[in-house]
Amino acid sequence: MNTQPIPANFFLVECRACSRPLRVPKLLLDQQVVCRHCSLQFTAFDPKSSVAVEQPTFANLIAKVDQLLAQCEARPEVA
Ligand SMILES: [Zn+2]
């Protein structure tokens, strides 16, 4: 097993296709990178720094629709 610590200016991402860990320079954060194992191109992001990406839930969606409907109803009718 390769248990080398990763350098401070690198972060570890897991390839979506082959699930292998890749060391990506922090300079390439949010950039397109290519997996050197399977050549998949994907956006590198630091899993540790990706805080709370808002997941659209069904309840959120309903709330949003209600909000939009309310906005529509508030508008004066146009023929
Ligand atoms: Zn890969």
Q: State in Å: Cα 17 to ligand 1 middle.
A: 5
Give the integer Cα–Cα distance in Å for 44 and 60: 28
Q: State in Å: Cα 34 to ligand 1 middle.
A: 8
Count the neighbouring beta carbons within 10 Å of the beta carbon of residue 77: 5
Q: State in Å: Cα 53 to ligand 1 middle.
A: 24
Backbone phi, then psi, for 6, in 5-degree steps?
A: -85, 145
Give the integer Cα–Cα distance in Å for 66 and 74: 12
> Is the pLDDT at 51 greater than 70, yes or no?
no
- Among 61, 21, 15, which Cα is nearest to 39's? 15
Residue 72 in tokens: 């529509």
Q: State in Å: Cα 4 to ligand 1 middle.
A: 20
Under DSSP, the state recorded for 31 is S
What is the reported pLDDT for 38? Answer: 97
Pick from 6-15, 40-49, 63-72: least confident: 40-49
